[in-house]
Chain A
């Protein structure tokens, strides 16, 4: 099992990490984006300390972003793989080297193991199960092509619209929204791509121990 931690900086690396998931220009909602010229350097540095490097490219891409992606292709191939949601990545990297993994990292594209297995027959190397679907696998399952996120923020809403800016609200701050008849509050954050609404940290304790990838997706979680 590979333990994959969200990468934030070189001075705060989780000791038990086997690999790091590094934000890119193509992350769903970039928080700690590593620019193109720094990316190659970072990949080398993490490899020097025997850590694998996966690149977070989980945004649904528009056509102009595909053109930009082609500029990154060579650098990306220096990493150990890509965590993606848009099937464009399968098409673009379809003749990738065997050691480079295409890891499907969806929001909620499926709720069945059958669909996950189908994807493995269509150019995808590893499938991370969508949140809430961890119970699709049990100890008896053949898990060597599957992963789960064990720590993450529950994403409730993802938009390309910059909702805070559109309402003249300071988009550098983290804000809380509350439905007018309910008590609970959710975090709303605007990035350079759009807006996210999400809940506090969620942890999954029960999962098959023979799983291929265990993802600590702490990208929005402040660490002590």
Chain B
């Protein structure tokens, strides 16, 4: 592992494996309860255990989000849940409740505690408070911090720092938004955010008013963040596709590796930019990193055309090759294939497809498991996308 942790999201076990195989040093996942992405598939305890074993075999880590703001009943359940996470050797929990921080500390539980970005920690004094009072290992900084602020902060503290470098953003200060609850009775702080800041509003009865943010992409200033010696760089998106996770992780992995080998150059940055533009996302902005927000960070359109480059991924099971399609694919179609640990992609042709022991000439249903025969060597979790 490098001195920088690249931390990727994983909404299910396949995504966890993809994130780690494509270069993440650690993943963050949510259980069926207590995490802020209630709409993601999320993990049972058994799946978390499998994920931890898979990660640890690769020398990598699993962080579990337990960051809802609990009520009395949930709080007691969350404590029991944390005990279970300790048993299955989860590396860290991400929490926002001081009761859970205190619980881990008072019981000397062998698990690292990371303070969630929901706590909006954005200065060195608050970091010292959490460290001294609750013995926390790491702070996930608020997304309002600029590079300059983080630089000043780092001089004052010795606590581990994690920041978001890529993905969706709240327009509000994290944890300070009740719009979803107000409009839909879906509480954001319970993991049910309806993303009301991305809806269309009217202001003063007539004018259209959009106040959602563009997604964060920090590639254009990422070297400055690496220069600061931040411990962990986090990609947002537990609800995103396998293609998104693989592409974003491999781009930032490539960048970090080049930086560490002192080989960062225009070619690397251009590759990363191109890769990130091929992922399904909103338009990109820089959030608060460079100081003030400007107009270019705010969304201007109600809907963006959906990026439909991702066509499916490969599973290799008992020497057979299976395609998990995400769209309609025909026999003899050719696609671009990306694989773990390689930057160059290849063109692959699907020569034959078999479903239920019968040859088929197209994919019928998304997520079917279709045996395929191809003209190239493939590996487990290779990603197929349209040729560009």
| Chain A residues within 8 Å of B, Cβ to Cβ | 60-67, 86-92, 107-115, 118-119, 122-123, 154-163, 166-167, 169, 175-180, 182, 188, 194-195, 197, 199
- Complex Cα distance, B150 from A75, in Å, reads 28
- Min distance, Cβ A131 to any Cβ of chain B, angstroms: 9
A157 touches B293 (CB 8 A): no
Question: CB-CB < 8 A to A158: which residues of B?
Answer: 172-173, 176-177
Question: CB-CB < 8 A to B99: which residues of A?
Answer: 110, 112, 114-115, 118
A66 touches B125 (CB 8 A): yes
B145 touches A62 (CB 8 A): yes
B35 at the interface (CB under 8 A from A): no
Q: Which of B2-10, B12-20, B25-33, B65-73 contacts A (4 or more CB under 8 A)?
A: B65-73
- Min distance, Cβ A82 to any Cβ of chain B, angstroms: 13
B98 at the interface (CB under 8 A from A): yes
B209 touches A167 (CB 8 A): yes
* Given A107-B175, A111-B71, 14 more pairs with CB closer than 8 A: A63-B122, A63-B149, A91-B125, A107-B176, A111-B70, A112-B75, A114-B99, A118-B102, A156-B177, A157-B197, A166-B294, A178-B203, A178-B205, A180-B208
A162 touches B122 (CB 8 A): no
B175 touches A108 (CB 8 A): yes
Task: Determine the main DSSP class of B at the interface with A.
Answer: mixed
A160 touches B144 (CB 8 A): yes
B189 at the interface (CB under 8 A from A): yes
B153 at the interface (CB under 8 A from A): yes
Closest 10 CB pairs of A and B: A88-B125, A158-B176, A87-B129, A63-B149, A91-B125, A88-B126, A91-B129, A122-B133, A180-B200, A63-B152
Question: CB-CB < 8 A to A114: which residues of B?
Answer: 72, 75, 99
A109 touches B201 (CB 8 A): no
- Min distance, Cβ A96 to any Cβ of chain B, angstroms: 14
User: Which residue of chain B lies nearest to A160 when distances are taken between CB atoms in the complex?
Assistant: B144
B126 touches A162 (CB 8 A): no
A166 touches which one: B129, B150, B295 (CB < 8 A)?
B295
- Min distance, Cβ B158 to any Cβ of chain A, angstroms: 15
